[in-house]
Chains A and B, each alone.
Chain A
Amino acid sequence: MTASEILASLFPAGHSVREEGGLLAGTGGAPGAEVAVLGTALGLEVGVESALALAAGVLDVIRLHPGRPILALLDSRGQRMSRRDEVLGLNGYLAHLAEAVEVARRAGHRVIALVYGEASSGSALALGFMADEVHAVPGARLSVMNLPAMARVTKIPLERLEEASRASPVLAPGLEPYVRLGGVESVWRPPLAEALAAALARPAGPDRRAARGEERGGRLLARPVADRVRGGPAR
Chain B
Amino acid sequence: MTGVESRPARASFREATARRRLAAVLDPGSFREILPPSERVTSPHLAALDQPVAFDDGAIVGEGLLGGQKVFAAAQEGAFLGGAVGEVHGAKLAGLLSRAERERPAGVLLLLDSGGVRLQEANAGLLAVSEVMRAVLSARSSGVPVVALIGGGWGCFGGMGIVARCCDAVAMSEEGRLGITGPEVLETTKGVEELDASDRALVWRTYGGKHRYLLGEADRLVEDDVAAFRAAALDLLGRRREVGLGALDAAHRRLAARLFELGACADATEVWARAGVPEPARLPVLEVGEFLRAVASARRGEP
Contact = CB atoms under 8 A, between A and B. Distances in A.
Interface of A: 48-49, 52, 55-56, 59, 62-63, 79, 81-96, 98-100, 102-103, 106-107, 121-122, 124-126, 129-130, 142-145, 149-150, 152-154, 156, 160-161, 164, 167-173, 177-178, 181-183, 207, 209-210, 213, 218-223, 225-232, 234
A225 B39 CA distance: 11
Contact of B122 (A56, A107, A171): A171
B91 interface: yes
Given A79-B181, A87-B265, A93 B122 contact: no
B252 A181 contact: no
Interface residues of B, number: 84
Nearest to B245: A62
B124 A160 contact: no
A203 B97 CA distance: 24
Q: Which of A106, A172, A207, A209 has the most CB of B within 10 A?
A: A207
B255 A52 contact: yes
A150 B117 CA distance: 11
Contacts of A48: 259, 263
A81 B125 contact: no
Contacts of B186: 81-83, 86
A177 B267 CA distance: 40
A95 B162 contact: yes
Interface stretch (B17-25, B130-138, B275-283, B290-298): B130-138
A100 B248 contact: yes
A198 B90 CA distance: 31
B248 A230 contact: no
Contacts of B91: 210, 221-223, 225-226, 229
Interface of B: 34-35, 41, 44-45, 48-49, 61, 87-88, 90-92, 94-96, 98-99, 102-103, 117, 119-131, 133-135, 137-138, 141, 158-159, 161-166, 178-181, 184-186, 188-190, 194-195, 206-207, 211-212, 215, 217, 243-245, 248-249, 251-252, 255-256, 258-259, 262-263, 265-268, 271
B35 A229 contact: yes
B120 A93 contact: no
A87 B137 contact: no
B243 A102 contact: yes
B124 A153 contact: no
A108 B271 CA distance: 39
B123 A86 contact: no
Contacts of B243: 99, 102-103, 106
A91 B164 contact: yes
Given A87-B265, A90-B180, A168 B48 contact: yes
Contacts of A102: 134, 137-138, 141, 243
A55 to B, nearest CB: 6
A227 B95 contact: yes
Given A82-B194, A103-B245, A164-B48, A169 B123 contact: yes
A229 B266 CA distance: 45
What 4 A-B pairs are tightest by C-beta distance, nearest first?
A229-B95, A95-B165, A91-B161, A226-B95
Contact of A88 (B44, B45, B121, B263): B263
Contacts of A98: 133, 137, 162, 166
A228 B259 CA distance: 43
A99 B146 CA distance: 14
A96 B87 contact: no
B266 to A, nearest CB: 7
Given A91-B162, A102-B243, A234-B98, A170 B256 contact: no
A230 B102 contact: yes
Contacts of B162: 91, 94-95, 98, 122, 125-126
B255 A93 contact: yes
Given A48-B259, A222-B90, A181 B124 contact: yes
B76 to A, nearest CB: 15
A52 B126 contact: no
B252 A79 contact: no
Nearest to B181: A81
A154 B266 CA distance: 30
